[in-house]
Amino acid sequence: MKETAQIDPVDRRIIRELQRDASLSHAALADRVGASAASVWRRVRSLEQAGVLGRTVRLADPHALGHAVNVLCQVRMTRQTVTARAEFEEFIQSREEIVECYAMSGEWDYLLRIAVRDVADYDRFIMRGVLAHPSVASAASNFALRQVKYTTEIPV
């Protein structure tokens, strides 16, 4: 099912609806996509087994949790060895402030999205965390002024 061509129109509707509200019961989902609850249950299981649908989560409001400052941080490595990258990526996984991380092509090696309470919190994090890592040569940070668009929905 990983090939897009193998996902039929009902599967697409199921995926769209679950991306908007993963708490829907199979019966409610069936009503929305025009299929039986049993069919929807089988299709959801099949999409999960194929890796099309991942784990179910609830999105938390960063403002309500006091982590409303978003920082986009570009990181350049000192060396490009497999070991250096693995150690840095292990560090990334261990830090809850880093909510997204991308290995990049081009001038910078990684792009991080970091959620912190305030600028002082970020200063402590970048100085004692990212820049203190032995594989990091430099970092450049940009603070998001406001969020214009945010979605977790992938076009289907």
Cβ atoms within 10 Å of 33's Cβ, excluding its own: 21
Q: What is the pLDDT of residues 31-90, one digit of tens each?
A: 999 999 999 999 999 999 999 999 999 999 999 999 999 999 999 999 999 999 999 999
pLDDT at 6: 83
Pick 4-49's CATH classification: 1.10.10.10, 3.30.470.10, 1.10.645.10, 1.10.1740.10: 1.10.10.10
The answer to whether residues 140 and 74 touch, using CB atoms and an 8 Å cutoff, is yes
The residue-averaged pLDDT of 98-107 equals 97
The residue-averaged pLDDT of 137-151 equals 96
Q: What is the CATH number of domain 69-143?
A: 3.30.70.920
pLDDT at 2: 46
Interior/surface letters 109-147, b for 16+ CB within 10 angstroms, e for the rest: bbebebbbeeeebbeebbeebbeebebbeebeeeeeeee
State the DSSP code for 151.
Answer: -
The residue-averaged pLDDT of 111-132 equals 97
Q: Is residue 21 classed as helix, strand or coil in its secondary structure?
A: coil
Q: What is the pLDDT of residues 5-39, one digit of tens each?
A: 489 999 999 999 999 999 999 999 999 999 999 99
**What residue has token string 């194929």?**
50
The answer to whether residues 1 and 50 touch, using CB atoms and an 8 Å cutoff, is yes
- Tokens standing for 21? 């509200």
Radius of gyration (C-alpha) of the chain in whole angstroms? 20
Q: Is residue 74 classed as helix, strand or coil in its secondary structure?
A: strand
CATH topology of 4-49 equal to that of 69-143?
no
Domain locations in the chain as residue ranges = 4-49, 69-143
